[in-house]
Structures are given as C-alpha cells and as structure tokens.
Amino acid sequence: MPRTHNNRLRALLQEADWSGAQLASALRTLAAEHGQRLACDRSTVSRWLAGTAPRPPAPELLLQALSRRLQRPVSAAEAGLSSAPATVPDLSWEADPLHRLTVLTRAETDPHIRHTLRTGTYNLAVPDVWRSGQTPSAGTRQRAPRTKGRAGHAEAEEMRTMARVFAEAAQLHGPGHVRSALAAYLSRDVTRCLHAPATEKARRRLLVGSAQLALMFGGMCADGGAEALAQHYQHTAAQLASEAGDASTFAIALRAMSTHAHDMGHHTPAVLHLAERAADAARAADGAVGAYAQAQLAVMQAHHNGRAALKALTAAERLHEQVPSAAPGPFDHYPAAALHYQRAQTLATLGDTAGANRALTTSLRLRAPTDRQGATLTRARLAESCLAQGRLDTALAHWHRFLDAYPVLHSSRVARRLGAMRRLLHPHRRHHATAQLLARAVALG
C-alpha cells in the first residue's frame, strides 16, 4: 500500500521557513541538549514527509523543535504524527488543568503510561500566556459533571496540612519514599475533592491546594530525573493557580519551572523570561514570594547581565528583610538559608568564588535541623567550592559530613552529588586522606 504524504508536517516546515536539512540540523542539536544522539539528515526528513513514521525519540524532539521555532505548542496531531507514540492524551498546554492532573495522577498506577511520561522529552518552549505581564484571575470554565459529596474549606485545610507533612518528610529523608505516598494522595483524595461540588471561594482554595501539591510532586519527579513528567506537573500547577486567581502560587510555579530548567543546565533567554514572569507575578503576592522570585531572577540574570543579577539579588534581600516571622510552611515561608544558597549560585556564575563560598557557609549555618536534605546538598556544594579554591583538607571534612547523612536520604540529587565527589577527587586519589574518604564512599554503594 502506498504511504500517505505528511502534508501537515510539510505545512509546518513552510510556516517555520525551514528546509529539510535545517530541520534535521535542529533535531540533532536538540538531541545533543538532552544527551542523546540522533541519526537524522535531509533524506530522513524527506522520508517523514513521504509518510514514514519517525521512530522514537524523533517524534517528541520534532514537536519540541517546531514548538521552539514557531514559539507556540505544536501537537502530534498538527504535525501529522498520529502514528507516533503519544505521551498521554490531552496533556497540551491548552488542556483543562483538572483533566491534566487527573490523567497525570492516574498514570502513576498505569505502568505503560508512567513509563511513557517518565521517558518523555523536556520542552523549553514557553507558552506566550505565561510570558505576558497579566496577573492570573479566577477562571470561569464550566466544569465536568460533579461527583457525589461536597468539598470545602476543611478539605482545603487538609491539603495544606498534608503539604507540610510531605515537605517535612522529604526534607528529613529525601523524596524517594515520600513520592509514592504523595502520588496516592493526589490520585485518590485531591482529584476527588476537585470534582466535588463546592462554593466558589472553597473551590479556589482547593485549586490552590492542589496546585501546591502538584508543584511538590513535580519537584520530586525532577529529583528522580523524570524531567518531562516534572514539567507536566509544573505546567498543571501553574494553570490551576491561574484559574484560582492566586498570584502567589502562580509565581511560585513559574519560579519552579525556571529553577528546574536552570538545574538541567538551560540558561537560555526563554528560561530567563520564566524567571522574569515569576517576578512580575510576585508583585501581586506577599514579600516572601517576591524575595523567592527575585532570588531566582538573580541566578538567571547572572548568565546574561551581571549588573541586573546583583540588582535582583539586592531586591530579594530587601524583600526578605521586610517579611515578618511566620510559622514555617512549604509555600508561605522562604528560609534565609535558601536565599543565601541562591546568592551563592549567583556569585559563583559571576566569578566571585570567595563570595559564593561565604554565602554557602552562611546557608549551611542557617539550615533548620529538619532540613537534612538541604543541608546535605549545601555541604556538598561547599566541599566542591573549597576544592576549586585548592583547600583539599577543608573539602574532605565537608564531604565526610556529607557521607554521614547520605544513608538516610533517598534522593537522586544527593546521589548525583556523591558521583560528582568521586569524579572531582579522582585526581587526588593517591592522597591518603582522600583515599580513605573514597573507600568510605564505596562502602555506601
């Protein structure tokens, strides 16, 4: 049977003003960004246009490349890739956020969909609506038929309590074991509440609570290396917060997206725009959220404009000083230790190694006893900074303390810092104290 030509893909190439060779080049570059190799040239694109279905991971890379080029989301259907493996139905940016959350949480119990989501491709294309200067306002979307039972302020308060419990458990023991419990809570309790009848005021509180829990789960996915899945939860959280008209949670969601991209090594203008948009949204929020957003803006600006980075850092510190003391909570408290950590990131990028080292030392000193993961990651970065300054003995002392905490933290981020320690110390492996530390690390697995 003759193949049907993919005229939809051809139309997108024309809209993008790309030749087949230019698309192939963009795909190879994009694959390299994700640590992949893609055999693709002009003849490969010609076969796709003739109707041959691209093989994974080409379909997702193709959609991402076109989305980035056209500055708008491009779906598989629009690109004529219906025969390509889809991620999960209706997870586009335009999809209803409640539907997205329901599909995502249910996927946690479906091995096939879960695997597809976790092996998906992270997308740097940013929806235009999140790059504008508009403040979120409560949505008026008509909901699907409600389930039986009602949900109200008590359920919203329960979500806040559960967020605090999950956050504290993740800080103490790492997100590895907490993630499955949070997934079950989102899938069973949270989505049920969102489908239940509620007053408009209660519904907004429920949307905010679910957005915050989705953000928390997205962070746990990112910790485990499921970058695309983390991004799905971040997008959903931003949409839920926007529908609730909650500027604080919306700003936190955009900030989380920028932080996630930065941690993956993306420092492009698109990621800077996310940080700027978060700072814009935070102007309608309280001072703690403003400081939180400005600190990430400083981290991102350091890759583009040093003066702007220091200005944002000063703004973050000023806002933080004005915040009254409050009971710690994952979404209404920005610890000074975290601010100093972002200060260290900013200064390190600007080349101020000594200043970054001082900021890391302050961050470590200010860490709460319950923030074991934060303290452990900060200590690892401090050890790396000390080694870069030629202070091997000090670095080894910090790494020994890092190994003290390592066995009780179930975190891929912490495990990656252990791998970094081994690589950095390899040139010093004949040094007696270094050899002892490396031997201890081997014993930990």
Q: How far is CA 272 from CA 29, 71, 197, 341, 391, in A?
A: 20, 15, 39, 19, 34
Q: pLDDT tens for residues 144-203?
A: 444 455 778 899 999 999 999 999 999 999 998 899 899 999 988 998 898 888 899 999
Helix or strand or coil: residue 246? coil
Contacts of 290 (CB under 8 A, 6+ apart): 279, 282, 283, 315, 316, 319
Q: pLDDT tens for residues 423-443?
A: 999 999 999 999 999 999 998
Which residues of the chain carry a pLDDT beneath 50?
Answer: 1, 83-88, 140-147
C-beta of residue 359 within 8 angstroms of C-beta of residue 345: no
C-beta of residue 242 within 8 angstroms of C-beta of residue 324: no
Q: How confident is the model at residue 273, as a pLDDT?
A: 92
Based on DSSP, count helices (H) and strands (E) in the chain, helices before strands.
Answer: 21, 0
Q: How confident is the model at residue 262, as a pLDDT?
A: 95
Q: Residue 369, preceding bond cis, omega within 30 degrees?
A: no
